[in-house]
A and B are shown apart, each in its own frame.
Chain A
Amino acid sequence: MLSYLPLIFVLVGLVLYTVLAGADMGAGLWQLMTGRGPHAVRIRDHAHHTIGPVWEANHVWLIFVLTVLWTSYPTVFGSILSTLSVPFFLAAIGIILRGAAYALQSGTSIPRERRVIDTVFALSSILTPFALGAAVGGVASRRVPVGNAAGNLITSWLNPTSILVGVLAVMVAAFLAAVYLCSDAVRLGEPELVRSFRARAIGTGVITGVISIAGLAVLRFDAAPLFDGLVHGPGLAAIIVSGLAGIATLLLVGRRNPMRARGTAALAVAAIIAGWALAQQPVLLPGLTVEQAAASNRTMLAVVIAVLGGAVILFPSLALLFRLVLHGRFDPGAADAPATEVTPAPRPARGHGLQAWSAVGSLVVGAGLLVLADTGWAQALGVVFLANFIVLGYLACTPADIAAADPQKTGRSTTMEVTRADPTVR
């Protein structure tokens, strides 16, 4: 049991990464396929804006998956990443370009620059899910043996199953993004955007479904054990759930209730990942079961404690973020907070000289303890004195006051001059 729990965490992380960060990548993809004109600009801005507050948090699920995997099943991590180094490297490049392009998008509104940046963003938003999907395909079709780069560096990810999963990953991202963006447009009261993304959601949903069904034929020839697992028992149940949830999503989007469609769309995707896991268990890699791959019991227990403890903090925080976002608190033009009610506090007069000497004293004592003493508690005390030096030193320097009082003769400008407007940024 203990050897399976972290694997469940990994799968939950993978599902959340797919349905959250995957949708962010899909939003990037939709930024490319807009055409031109004012409506296209609105589509791009809509796609850009909605992922703003959440994409970094969503991205962290990937880190979570990797770290729990390498702590709990180190051999599996080493085998997968070394044999599948090419797709993972491509995904890494995609992640760099995506993140950089996202940061740059807020730096310009010049159409020419925006076009270049949007294109990089969109292409990397396709590259990353494809490469990660291809890597999953390599694992699912048992092309990753145990060992340091023991598998084929090319065919482990350039094979029918990998290409299928890679393409599916891109389509799923586009589908999820369209559903979420449609729902966001409803909240924003933008009927034109709702129509645009409704069409996209239904289109990509249908295509994804068709590829999935056709894909089963690919799996039958290329990954027979996986195919068997998917058409029997619990694997089959998961596939059916996924199909039903997909159909429900299309109906909800078509019936103008895209808010609810978020949940069913995510369920459809989660069920596919669950189906893969159920079809493949208990084997992680060829000849290596979950039990065999698990790290020592003490490590597994530590992981379980750490993850459950972390979840107690993480999920309320995530809930807060998503509530703020989904309730439109971060939307453009959302009601501003009332103007501040702060009142200037009178500044008490302070003995700066005393503080300065206390700071110097703290530095001397802290240095003495750290340099001369060898015991742990003395070192800890030394660190406390150094911290005290910094705090007292800051109070003694009163940098904000001297900045305010500076009787400068050399400077010619005023506060407002730094605000010189760059014509390119408005």
Chain B
Amino acid sequence: MQVCVLGLIAGCGGGGSVAAPATPNAMGFAAVDQGYLLQARQMQALSFAVHIPLVCFGIAFPVIILFVEWRYLRTGDELYRTLARRWTRVMVALFAVGVITGTILSFEMGLLWPAFTATFGGVFGLGFAVEGFSFFLEAIFAGIYVYGWDRLSPKMHFASGVPMAIAGFTGSLTVIAVNGWMNHPTGFTLRDGKVTDVHPFEALFENSYFWHELIHMYLAGYMVTGFVLAGAYSVGRLRGRWGRYERTALAIPLTIAALASPAQIVVGDWAARTVAEDQPIKLGALEGLGQTTRGAPEHLLGWYSAGEVHYGIAIPKLLSLLAYHNLNATVLGLNAFPPDQIPPVNVVRIAFQLMVGIGTALALLGVIYFVARARGKHLPDSAWFYRALVVAGPASVVALISGWVTTEVGRQPWVVYGVMRTSEAVTGAAGIPIGYGTLAAVYLGLVVAVVWILRRLAAAPLPPRNPPAPRYATTVGR
């Protein structure tokens, strides 16, 4: 079971240049001339940016709602039941939007990147096929859970939510395995442009990016869900809505997100060191390191041009320390690589700094919360704390998307790192700008619609005890 990729990864890890791009490609899927590659990439990025926050809610929201329902079962306190029911209504709306935006992503595997899928579908595709089953379970049990309130016994209802929560995790697991493989392709051999000797399970689960990406994303799911929920109730707090219900609805997700944030920093460090080891070009781009440097400094802020960071704050030797745990370690600069293999440095670097900056700020916010908690048996009093939480919700989404920009744009110009260029993967079909414009307009409408429905749900009354089914019965007979 040789780990293949023509020794490309080893080659660049050793400080040399990456070998020439592999020539495509099986069965008529030769590289095509596509004038709108950039637009295709942007269209993919847009689709992804709309979908990925919903994934966070798919990962974390069922678990949080189940936890609240479990508290109801344990304490008999109606408040938890009301909270779980109201959150269920939000979850079902977000889940519906997640289902359709996820479908668009799977269409785009063929609409935008047919040569990628046609060449490597047999290697990575299994991850999505397995994910399909997670998706099924999520959809099935979401249906049962949502419609089962009041119609199933409390314990049965709680049990029906458990597969939904598990599937939220396993679904992201297999998709992230595919992304890990794209960053660290293993489990196949490329011979004369043809993929042979395929080991799909090895490709998905034995690449070195899988574990840290999975845990990084999983924690991000809890951070985004937690901070967005806490932010929403902070708006209410600032407007004077601050009963026990609101305090509980704020405290539970806030605590979860505040705990996930410091852990996320540790996992992020792990991820960055794996990048340093396996994708030194990406490291060079996200740090803006133009020249190979012994004892490399870390630059905060600034703008990269002509091989160095301008207007940045340099912290001497920090990059060497962080990446290799050695103040005087040599870090490969971008000059060590052929220019046609370097990702767009400023995009990657700014996204990376946004993610790290916001992530650090969120962790600090968490620490402030813990200190306040340690000093008193109530939530913080300061209005500034809640103003910060209002910002933290959207900021966590920005950090999430920035993180994905870092890893995805940082992998450019490759779609399969070191093996297939994005330009070799793109469709030969015309009309990408039309598709991009249409999708952008539709997604804009979708975002407006989601905001509208969430506001409606927030304004809707708490469901009364044992109500009839929401829509149908109220309009019938009118």
Taking Cβ atoms with an 8 Å cutoff, the residues of A that contact B are: 38, 41-42, 45-46, 48-49, 52-54, 56-57, 59-60, 62-64, 66-68, 70-75, 77-83, 85-86, 88-89, 91-93, 95-100, 102-109, 146-150, 153, 295-296, 298-299, 302-303, 306-307, 310, 313-314, 317-318, 320-321, 324, 329-345, 356, 363, 366-367, 370-372, 379, 382-383, 386, 389-390, 393-394, 397, 399-408, 410-422, 424-426
CB <8 Å contact, A421 and B442: no
CB <8 Å contact, B123 and A153: no
Give a binary string over B156-167; 1 marks a CB under 8 Å from any A CB, 0 the rest.
010000010000
Q: A320-B144, A403-B244 are in contact. Are A88 and B111 (CB under 8 A)?
A: yes
Give a binary string over B162-175; 1 marks a CB under 8 Å from any A CB, 0 the rest.
01000000000000
Taking Cβ atoms with an 8 Å cutoff, the residues of B that contact A are: 26-30, 32, 71-77, 79-81, 92-93, 95-97, 99-104, 106-107, 109-111, 114-115, 117-123, 125-126, 128-133, 135-137, 139-144, 146-148, 150-154, 157, 163, 195-201, 211, 215, 236-237, 240-248, 250-252, 254-256, 259-260, 262-263, 266-267, 269-270, 325, 370, 373-374, 377-379, 381, 383, 427-431, 435, 438-439, 442-443, 445-446, 449-450, 452-453, 456-457, 459-462, 466, 468-478
User: Which of A82, A153, A307, A332 gathers most chain B CB within 10 Å?
Assistant: A82
CB <8 Å contact, B241 and A314: no
CB <8 Å contact, A78 and B471: no
Q: In the complex, which residues of chain B have a beta carbon less than 8 angstroms from the beta carbon of A331?
A: 469
What's the nearest-Cβ distance from chain B to residue A388, in Å?
10
Q: A53-B143, A416-B243 are in contact. Are A426 and B106 (CB under 8 A)?
A: no
Q: In the complex, which residues of chain A have a beta carbon less than 8 angstroms from the beta carbon of B122?
A: 71-72, 74, 295-296, 299
Q: In the complex, which residues of chain B have a beta carbon less than 8 angstroms from the beta carbon of A83?
A: 429
CB <8 Å contact, B32 and A148: yes
CB <8 Å contact, A371 and B266: yes
CB <8 Å contact, A92 and B142: no
What's the nearest-Cβ distance from chain B to residue A132, in Å?
11
Q: A60-B132, A148-B32 are in contact. List 12 more A-B contacts (CB 8 A).
A: A49-B469, A52-B147, A56-B143, A60-B99, A71-B122, A103-B93, A153-B431, A296-B195, A337-B153, A402-B247, A410-B240, A410-B383
Of B126, B211, B374, which contacts A302 at CB under 8 A? Answer: B126
Of B196, B370, B471, which contacts A49 at CB under 8 A? Answer: B471
What's the nearest-Cβ distance from chain A to residue B59, in Å?
14
Of A48, A54, A85, A107, which contacts B472 at CB under 8 A? Answer: A48
Of A313, A403, A418, which contacts B133 at CB under 8 A? Answer: A313
CB <8 Å contact, A386 and B243: no
CB <8 Å contact, B475 and A66: no
CB <8 Å contact, A403 and B379: yes
User: Which of A67, A337, A390 gathers most chain B CB within 10 Å?
Assistant: A67
CB <8 Å contact, A370 and B115: no
CB <8 Å contact, A310 and B130: yes
Taken together as a complex, chains A and B put the C-alpha atoms of A424 and B144 apart, in Å, by 28
Q: A67-B125, A148-B29, A418-B243 are in contact. Are A81 and B111 (CB under 8 A)?
A: yes
Taken together as a complex, chains A and B put the C-alpha atoms of A263 and B132 apart, in Å, by 26
- Tally of A-B Cβ pairs under 8 angstroms: 437
Main DSSP-derived SS at the A contact region? helix
Taken together as a complex, chains A and B put the C-alpha atoms of A307 and B103 apart, in Å, by 19
User: Which of A299, A410, A413, A414 gathers most chain B CB within 10 Å?
Assistant: A299
Q: A303-B126, A413-B243 are in contact. Are A92 and B107 (CB under 8 A)?
A: yes
Q: In the complex, which residues of chain A have a beta carbon less than 8 angstroms from the beta carbon of B111?
A: 81-82, 85, 88-89, 92
CB <8 Å contact, B269 and A302: no
CB <8 Å contact, B132 and A64: yes
Q: In the complex, which residues of chain A have a beta carbon less than 8 angstroms from the beta carbon of B460?
A: 422, 425
Q: A53-B146, A60-B139 are in contact. Are A389 and B107 (CB under 8 A)?
A: no
Q: List 8 A-B contacts (CB under 8 A).
A: A92-B111, A96-B446, A99-B100, A147-B28, A302-B201, A403-B248, A415-B246, A420-B459
User: Which of A60, A93, A109, A379 gathers most chain B CB within 10 Å?
Assistant: A60
Q: In the complex, which residues of chain B have a beta carbon less than 8 angstroms from the beta carbon of A91?
A: 107
Taken together as a complex, chains A and B put the C-alpha atoms of A69 and B429 apart, in Å, by 20
Q: In the complex, which residues of chain B have a beta carbon less than 8 angstroms from the beta carbon of A424?
A: 456
What's the nearest-Cβ distance from chain A to residue B238, in Å?
10
Q: In the complex, which residues of chain B have a beta carbon less than 8 angstroms from the beta carbon of A67?
A: 106, 125, 128-129, 131-132
Across the interface, name the chain A residue whose C-beta is closest to B254.
A399
What's the nearest-Cβ distance from chain B to residue A96, in Å?
5
CB <8 Å contact, A313 and B137: yes
Of B77, B255, B427, B475, which contacts A148 at CB under 8 A? Answer: B427
CB <8 Å contact, B431 and A85: yes
User: Which of A38, A53, A418, A419 gathers most chain B CB within 10 Å?
Assistant: A418
User: Which of B255, B378, B427 gathers most chain A CB within 10 Å?
Assistant: B255
Of A74, A89, A299, A371, which contacts B117 at CB under 8 A? Answer: A74
Q: In the complex, which residues of chain A have a beta carbon less than 8 angstroms from the beta carbon of B80?
A: 400
CB <8 Å contact, A400 and B252: yes
Q: In the complex, which residues of chain A have a beta carbon less than 8 angstroms from the beta carbon of B195?
A: 296
What's the nearest-Cβ distance from chain A to residue B105, in Å?
10
Q: In the complex, which residues of chain A have a beta carbon less than 8 angstroms from the beta carbon of B153?
A: 337-338
Of B75, B211, B243, B247, which contacts A417 at CB under 8 A? Answer: B243
Q: In the complex, which residues of chain A have a beta carbon less than 8 angstroms from the beta carbon of B199?
A: 298
What's the nearest-Cβ distance from chain A to residue B39, in Å?
14
Q: A45-B471, A109-B471, A317-B163 are in contact. Are A93 and B147 (CB under 8 A)?
A: no
What's the nearest-Cβ distance from chain A to residue B232, in Å?
12
Q: A89-B111, A310-B130 are in contact. Are A108 and B139 (CB under 8 A)?
A: no
Q: In the complex, which residues of chain B have a beta carbon less than 8 angstroms from the beta carbon of A367?
A: 266
CB <8 Å contact, A106 and B100: no
Of B118, B141, B461, which contacts A419 at CB under 8 A? Answer: B461
What's the nearest-Cβ distance from chain A to residue B180, in Å?
14
